[in-house]
């Protein structure tokens, strides 16, 4: 047996290590190593004659030299290490596996470089395959464990996929077969199964086709896990469960009840072997891993079945047990626990329970308990615990539709704690506290949150200011109650946002101040108020910082635009006179960048032209003259031109003709104006990290780009948009759009003239790279229907979640009010963040009159022909549209009937009075299209023109004049396509 192992210490090895450590310098150490390596080389020439102790000593010395960082000196020993693998002595065999795993890349067999991980794995398998097979077949459990440990150690990678056609595929399959047998064997000890589960997970990760070819493996693996009473086997198997879950969620569904039962017995009933207690907590690692597995299952299964409720794919009993486990975990974590180890274990369980609670439709009491427990942990002194508690709280609030912490009373009670965290020493805590306030903000507390963030901004860390400014701008836009409040809030932000980071970039995104200028210019009632606010903020910035702070450059840019254009509206107020405005801008001129100076020069020219008789006009002329000698070409050019305009005529005739007021912004000049609208209180909209979008501010009436209310600039549609557009025309459910990050599926629910398009936005990036989608926002649904008496209306009934890792829902209601003309389809514009990148989608949504059709069964073919004739007599050519089409694929009569039925027509069978119907292959259909105003009967004939069943004449007749061509165009799009 293998129990006869040498138990005494290897004195030669110990002495060698001591000698190396006592070396005076590296040169002496290298000399000793070289001497010893040469000695080992000479001894290994007769390796088989050495006794077991000497073999182990020399191999250990080689390993030590290798791991010291001298691989070039160890160009031998691998063959001798493999000889130890066949030893009957356990100690020698154990050392042999260790040496082989370390010396696998030695120069002896590495004649040529191994460039890829796959080549390395195949090479390693070739070298030790026979030894692994021999030891896996052994009846000794300890020998089995050595081989399995070697597999788990050397064959673990996520970058290699073995194919069935690979040269070594049969060897891989043999090893996997044997490891699988070790896991599922009823006679093996738990320690063997524990190691086999880990090794099998590594092997299946690099050879995933094995599970596909062996359908009966998964049930047996799950059975082992379900029936195992050893906690270590279950804990080791969770990685294998997650791997199977990734490949096929349906296959692991059966194990969820047993997982729930095991959790219930540990958490609720406290049934746990004494050796698995960690202080006073029963098996915390196992509980956390099982909670995590159940959460992953819900995420994967919801993605597979496109269902949101856990109860729809888990039985009630299992769901109740999981709820009790989560509730008990939250309750236990809510109590004060003595000892740091106890607190850490309870906190880890709490964090995972909170993540799972949302998927279980937990009760409000359980959610409130979780919130309170997390708040308690936030108050602890340990930084790591506070960070994780904040992260869990943000996740909990973000996944719920509402939270007790968002209520006015609870928010006011906890606001001091949240604001205190903004001033923590650790920047990671400060960032999480900012994210928490941002997530908690809603329609009831946005004023408190924004005021707090504005007060905090001057004291914020330089690395946080840019993100903080964006968050303030987004919250102000999302929860704006009126345009004046919105403008004043953003101007306050600009007034305290002076300065720049280490890269020279301003803390304030330029889109923010540019948007404010647009809003003020486009709203007459805001211009006077904005002038007052700007002047007062330049005099005294909204900040608790020292009074001698330099004015914000972003605010000066806005002032240059607004005061130069509208400053005279407050000129009659003594403290806000034109001279006061000029002196403020003139003082700021020498402390700002060249780009801002250029804006100020233009502002000074406008002030001069409008007020030629004021006393400060010579100062403006002098400034123009001085700057005409500037070394900056832009400043020099402007100053010279403005100087000539100011001095050419004493009455400034030329200057007055050249200088014009700022026109109202429209989409031709500024694409952001498509986001403007009427201010409305919209709590819970996008929590995007992108720059503020002032879509809530009403623009001037004259901004309408063209007669039908649509923009004169066409959006560039996203690549591959057409396949989803065509699919939605043809089918009432399917995939609307898909790329590497997101997938949009749809389902159309019809109710006469009302259509509800139910979109599901699925996060594909989460599965691929573990990235969440943040800031998902439908920032525009641009209708191309006429503004006056539109043929359809469209609005978002249910907005998608802003941040999600799995998927979110969106409902769009469409009301067909009249005859929807061709080319009136709306464009839906979406944007979101994923992995730090900003992504935009512009997708055309088909709004078609044909989508409202309902079938009209007729009693007979003769009835069809009678109605067909009646429409022809009453409406003539106005009620008919005909088209010859050539289809890409053959369509026999059955295929045409299926297509018409899918569209919504009732198919009319051929009848005897038409002797040529069968010969000509005429397919008939009847239906009614619905609008909010009236309904129209629609009849269709499709006549085959030849035996190829590719050329047809489509003829449509409708009871409404001008409707048939619209229907025909949609049918052509469905059957032929545009591209």
Which residues line the annotated binding site? 43, 57-61
Helix H or strand E encompassing 812: strand 807-816
Tokens 């370390």 locate to 102
Question: Interhelix angle for 594-610 vs 578-589, to 10°?
Answer: 160
Q: Alpha-carbon distance 941 to 724, whole Å?
A: 27
Q: How far apart are CA 612 and CA 606, in angstroms?
A: 10
Q: Coil, strand, or helix at residue 450?
A: helix
Candidates 925, 933, 912, 911; CA nearest to 974 is 925
Q: What share of the chain is helix, strand, coil (3-state, %, to 5)?
A: 55, 10, 30
Please give the Cα distance from 496 to 491 (Å, whole number): 9
User: In terms of C-beta density within 10 A (0-12 exposed, 13-18 middle, 19 or more buried), how is residue 248 classed?
Assistant: middle
Task: Please choose, from the candidates 490, 566, 489, the residue with its C-alpha nearest in 3D space to the C-alpha of residue 525.
Answer: 566
Element (H, E) at 356: helix 340-357
| Signed CA dihedral, 624, 630, 635, 641: sign only | positive
**CA angle centred on 185, ends 181 and 191, rounded to 5°:** 95
Asked if 109 contacts 127 with a C-beta cutoff of 8 angstroms, the reply is yes
Residue 481 CB: number of other CB atoms within 10 A? 14
Which is nearest to 31 in space by CA: 949, 39, 369? 39
> Could you say which DSSP state residue 733 is in?
E
Beta-bridged to residue 808, according to DSSP, are 761
Residue count of the chain, please give it: 979
Query: Residue 441: which of 383, 497, 498, 480 has the closest Cα?
Result: 480
Cα separation, 926 vs 367, whole angstroms:
54
d(CA 977, CA 413): 61
Find out whether 780 and 795 touch, Cβ atoms under 8 Å.
no
Number of neighbours of residue 259 by Cβ within 10 angstroms: 23
Phi and psi at residue 275, in whole multiples of 5°?
-70, -15
In a 3-state reduction of DSSP, which class is residue 808?
strand
Element (H, E) at 434: helix 427-440
d(CA 174, CA 195): 18
DSSP β-ladder status, 906-908 and 951-958? unpaired
**Do 285 and 235 touch, CB atoms closer than 8 A?**
yes
In angstroms, rounded to a whole number, what is the distance separating the alpha carbons of residues 581 and 870?
77
Residue 855, φ and ψ in degrees, nearest 5: -70, 145
Residues 582, 616 contacting (CB under 8 angstroms): yes
């Amino acid at each position: 047996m293998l129990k006869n192992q040498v138990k005494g210490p290897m004195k030669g090895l110990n002495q060698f290590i001591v000698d190396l450590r006592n070396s005076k310098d590296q040169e002496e150490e290298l000399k000793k190593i070289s001497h010893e390596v040469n000695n080992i080389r000479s001894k290994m020439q007769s390796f088989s004659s050495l006794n077991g102790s000497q073999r182990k000593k020399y191999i250990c010395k080689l390993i030590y030299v290798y791991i010291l960082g001298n691989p070039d000196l160890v160009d031998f020993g691998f063959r001798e290490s493999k000889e130890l693998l066949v030893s009957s002595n356990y100690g020698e065999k154990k050392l042999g596996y260790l040496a082989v795993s370390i010396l696998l890349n030695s120069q002896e067999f590495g004649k040529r470089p191994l460039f890829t991980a796959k080549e390395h794995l195949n090479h390693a398998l070739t070298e030790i395959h026979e030894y692994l097979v021999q030891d896996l077949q052994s009846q000794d459990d300890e020998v089995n464990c050595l081989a399995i440990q070697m597999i788990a150690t050397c064959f673990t990678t996520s970058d290699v996929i073995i194919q069935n056609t690979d040269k070594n595929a049969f060897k891989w399959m043999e090893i996997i077969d044997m490891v699988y047998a070790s896991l599922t064997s009823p006679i093996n000890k738990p320690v063997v199964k524990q190691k086999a589960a880990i090794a099998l997970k590594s092997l299946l990760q690099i050879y995933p086709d094995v599970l596909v070819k062996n359908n009966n493996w998964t049930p047996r693996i799950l059975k082992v896990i379900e029936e195992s009473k050893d906690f270590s086997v279950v804990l080791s198997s969770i990685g294998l469960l997650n791997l199977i879950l990734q490949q096929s969620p349906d296959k692991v569904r059966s194990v969820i009840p047993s997982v729930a039962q095991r959790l219930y017995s540990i958490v609720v009933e406290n049934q746990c072997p004494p050796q698995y207690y960690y202080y006073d907590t029963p098996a915390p690692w196992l509980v956390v891993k099982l909670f995590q597995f159940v959460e992953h299952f819900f995420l994967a299964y919801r993605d597979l079945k496109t269902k949101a409720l856990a109860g729809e794919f888990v039985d009630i009993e299992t769901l109740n047990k999981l709820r009790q486990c989560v509730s008990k975990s939250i309750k236990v974590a809510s109590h004060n626990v003595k000892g740091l180890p106890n607190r850490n274990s309870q906190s880890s369980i709490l964090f995972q329970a909170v993540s799972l609670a949302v998927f279980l439709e937990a009760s409000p009491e359980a959610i409130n308990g979780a919130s309170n427990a997390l708040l308690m942990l936030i108050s602890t002194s340990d930084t790591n615990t506070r960070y994780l508690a904040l992260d869990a709280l943000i996740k909990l609030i973000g996944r719920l539709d509402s939270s007790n912490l968002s209520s006015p009373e609870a928010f006011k009670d906890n606001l001091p704690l949240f604001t205190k965290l903004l001033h923590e020493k650790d920047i990671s805590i400060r960032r999480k506290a900012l994210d928490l306030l941002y997530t908690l903000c809603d329609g009831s507390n946005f004023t408190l949150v924004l005021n707090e963030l504005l007060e905090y901004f001057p004291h914020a860390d330089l690395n946080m200011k840019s993100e903080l400014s964006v968050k303030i701008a987004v919250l102000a836009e999302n929860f704006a109650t009126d345009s004046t409040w919105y403008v004043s809030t953003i101007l306050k932000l600009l007034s305290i946002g002076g300065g720049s980071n280490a890269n020279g970039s301003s803390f304030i995104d330029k889109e923010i101040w540019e948007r404010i200028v647009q809003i003020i210019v486009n709203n007459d009632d805001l211009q006077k108020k904005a002038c007052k606010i700007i002047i007062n903020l330049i005099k005294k910035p909204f900040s608790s910082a020292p009074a001698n702070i330099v004015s914000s450059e972003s605010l000066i840019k806005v002032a240059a635009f607004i005061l130069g254009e509208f400053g005279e509206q407050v000129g009659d107020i003594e403290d806000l006179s034109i001279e006061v405005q000029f002196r403020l801008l003139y003082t700021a001129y020498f402390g700002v960048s060249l780009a801002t100076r250029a804006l100020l020069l233009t502002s000074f020219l406008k002030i001069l032209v409008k007020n030629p008789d004021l006393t400060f006009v010579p100062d403006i002329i002098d400034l123009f003259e001085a700057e005409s000698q500037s070394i900056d070409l832009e400043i020099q050019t402007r100053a010279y031109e403005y100087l000539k305009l100011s001095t050419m005529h004493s009455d400034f005739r030329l200057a007055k003709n050249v200088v014009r007021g700022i026109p109202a912004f429209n989409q031709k000049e500024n694409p952001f104006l498509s986001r403007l609208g009427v201010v409305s209180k919209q709590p819970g909209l996008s929590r995007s990290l992108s720059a503020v979008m002032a879509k809530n501010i009403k623009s001037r009436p004259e901004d309408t780009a063209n007669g039908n209310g649509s923009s004169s600039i066409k959006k560039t549609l996203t690549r591959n948009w057409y396949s989803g557009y065509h699919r939605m025309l043809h089918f009432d459910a399917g995939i609307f759009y898909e790329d590497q990050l997101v997938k949009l599926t749809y389902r159309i629910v019809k109710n006469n003239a009302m259509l509800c398009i139910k979109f599901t936005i699925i996060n594909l990036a989460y599965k691929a790279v573990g990235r969440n989608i943040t800031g998902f926002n439908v920032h525009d649904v641009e209708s191309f229907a006429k503004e006056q008496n539109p043929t359809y209306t469209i609005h978002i009934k249910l907005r998608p979640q802003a941040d999600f890792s799995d998927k979110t829902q969106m409902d769009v209601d469409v009301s067909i009010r009249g005859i929807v003309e061709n080319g009136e389809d709306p464009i839906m514009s979406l944007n979101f963040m994923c992995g730090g990148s900003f992504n935009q989608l512009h997708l055309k949504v088909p709004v078609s009159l044909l989508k409202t059709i309902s079938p009209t069964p007729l009693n007979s073919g003769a009835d069809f022909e009678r109605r067909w004739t009646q429409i022809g007599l009453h409406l003539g050519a106005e009620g008919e549209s005909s088209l010859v089409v050539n289809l890409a694929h053959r369509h026999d009569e059955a295929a045409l009937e299926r297509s018409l039925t899918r569209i919504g027509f009732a198919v009319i069978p051929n009848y005897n009075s038409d002797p040529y119907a069968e010969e000509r292959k005429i397919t008939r259909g009847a239906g009614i299209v619905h609008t909010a105003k009236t309904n129209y009967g629609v009849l269709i004939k499709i006549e085959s023109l030849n035996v190829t069943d590719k050329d047809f004449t489509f003829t449509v007749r409708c009871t409404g004049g001008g409707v048939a061509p619209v229907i025909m165009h949609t049918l052509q799009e469905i059957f032929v396509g545009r591209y």
